[in-house]
Structure 1
Amino acid sequence: MPVTLFDNRFLPDTTRRAIIYLYRARFADNRTSHYTRRAIEMLLMAAEAGNISAASMLGIAYHEGWGRLPQDSSLAARWLQQAAAARHRLACYNLAILYDNGLGVEKNPNIARRYYTIAAKAGCSEAMYAVGTYYYWGHGIEPDYTKARKWFRRSAALGNAKAMQDLGRMYQRGVDGGRNAARAIRWFQQAVAAGDSRAHIGLGIEYAIKEEFPQARQHLELAAESDESHAMYLLGRWAEEGWDTPPNLADARFWFRAAAELGHEKAGFRLAGLEGEGF
């Protein structure tokens, strides 16, 4: 018989012990270890008794196939829905991901956005970022750059590097207002400090516009070292066009080839042009 009432008062000690076992499994770097199997047994016991947190973790466990559990997105959705009904923050966020990608449920961007929003309002920075991207790109709704910026700012305030990067990009491109290079640079710098290698590209572009080429090259090369294909493409254009030095077609080929191997289409076209291949 399905549990209809979910509350963390049910078997809290069992859930806590399950979390301890999961941490031990994490340190063992093995999700199929006996620690994980024991944790799953405890989570099942607690979730079936009605513990919200256990149901949420069990949903993730089914989605990823932890321990002896089969990877089953449908069962994952079932447990996440139980916990999300009680507005459990992480359950709402993970359930939104399932609806966003059609995993175990029919793909539905509107339902995904609703669960992302619930999780975001409960303080989940990743959910805030997801809501921002929905408004930015207009997934199932009209684009609303003002709301996108609002959610990116909230996410960035909690340390989300992707939100910082996208705020920088909005200011760089003049989305929802005029272009603001100073704010773009400030957000890109914060994103870099928080670990987003894409932000080096934004900084490289800004410094190139200002003709501060040594700094521009430094940032683009740092991004390229992190396998950012667009940075490689820009370095290829730099070498081909000679932004601050004479053109170097050998370097251009090198960078275009590196970017093309990572799937950058424009780099592939540029490389073909240098090699004398037509399209």
Structure 2
Amino acid sequence: MLHWDGWGVAQNRERALHLLQMAAEAGHRTAQHNLGVAYDNGYELVKSHNQAFRYFSLAARQGCRDSMYCLGSFYYLGEGVAQDYAKARYWYRKGAQLGQVESMADLGRCYQRGVGGRRNQRHALFWFTKAVEAGSVRATTWLGLEYTLKPTEDWAKARYWLEQAAEHQQSHAMYLLGIWAAEGWTGDEKIADALFWFEKAVQSGHNRAGLRLAELQGEQF
């Protein structure tokens, strides 16, 4: 890694990769994870999801929680391996149990959507809450959304968490607040609020918010 970053030595990434390869083949889990990252992103190597999956697998089986998350994502997306939601959920759970924040968020999402198994609101709320407590802004949106769903419907908590996510520039939270206002989830429709949130979401790059904004502006016109 000194050669990779040029710390104390002349930067030489070819040499760095050679040493990482040696360390990885000798069983060093951090080297295996870093090689996985290099192959996944094409850092000084020909990009290869298959090779990335191989090295993430080696590191994950040695307890590397970040590699567990990467494996879960590979299985979820079907990159470097056949898509398998059950295995995605398995590896997200393994990472989450070791405190890997993004694993917590995506495991909660699996439970929320019933991906790789049954939908389970109790587990979704548990893992979203853990992820938020660990600093995941992304999970804040999904926690707010979960509180809009039955049987544990709690509109006050839903609004609190969605607004928290929106304050942290989470465009999907802005979009959901816009939908809430436009469709009157908890009462009358509030078109002015809907326009506000859809505009904020569009400014943050949310495409579907742009469509809803255009529809509302067309109706007003």
TM-score, normalising length: structure 2: 0.90
Partner of 1:86: 26
| 1:184-203 mapped onto 2 (5 Å cutoff) | 184-203=124-143
Residues matched between the structures, number: 217
- Distance in 1 separating the partners of 2:170 and 2:15: 36
| 1:114-263 mapped onto 2 (5 Å cutoff) | 114-210=54-150, 211-263=153-205
Secondary structure at the residue paired with 1:274? helix
Partner of 2:5: 61
How much has 1:233 moved relative to structure 2? 0.6
Kept after mapping to 2: 8 A contact 1:60/1:94? no
Kept after mapping to 2: 8 A contact 1:240/1:247? yes
Bigger Rg over Cα? 1
How big is each residue's C-alpha offset from its partner over 1:144-182, in whole Å with a ceiling of 9 and x where there is no partner?
222212211111111111111111111111112221111
How big is each residue's C-alpha offset from its partner over 1:173-216, in whole Å with a ceiling of 9 and x where there is no partner?
11122211111111111111111122222221221123421111
Change in 2 beyond 3 A, CA 1:221/1:59: farther
- Distance in 2 separating the partners of 1:73 and 1:232: 42
- Distance in 1 separating the partners of 2:16 and 2:213: 45
How much has 1:254 moved relative to structure 2? 1.6
- Distance in 2 separating the partners of 1:234 and 1:73: 45
The answer on 1:105 being equivalent to 2:49 is no
- Distance in 1 separating the partners of 2:95 and 2:193: 39
| 1:38-49 mapped onto 2 (5 Å cutoff) | none
Kept after mapping to 2: 8 A contact 1:233/1:267? yes
- Distance in 2 separating the partners of 1:275 and 1:59: 56
Kept after mapping to 1: 8 A contact 2:2/2:8? no
How much has 1:118 moved relative to structure 2? 1.3
- Distance in 1 separating the partners of 2:2 and 2:58: 20
Secondary structure at the residue paired with 1:176? coil
* 204, 212, 219: which one aligns with 1:270: 212
Change in 2 beyond 3 A, CA 1:137/1:274: same
Change in 2 beyond 3 A, CA 1:222/1:73: farther
Identity between Structure 1 and Structure 2 (%): 51
Q: Which runs of 5+ in 1 are unaligned?
A: 1-56
Change in 2 beyond 3 A, CA 1:69/1:221: farther
The aligned amino acid for 2:24 is A
Q: Which runs of 5+ in 2 are unaligned?
A: none
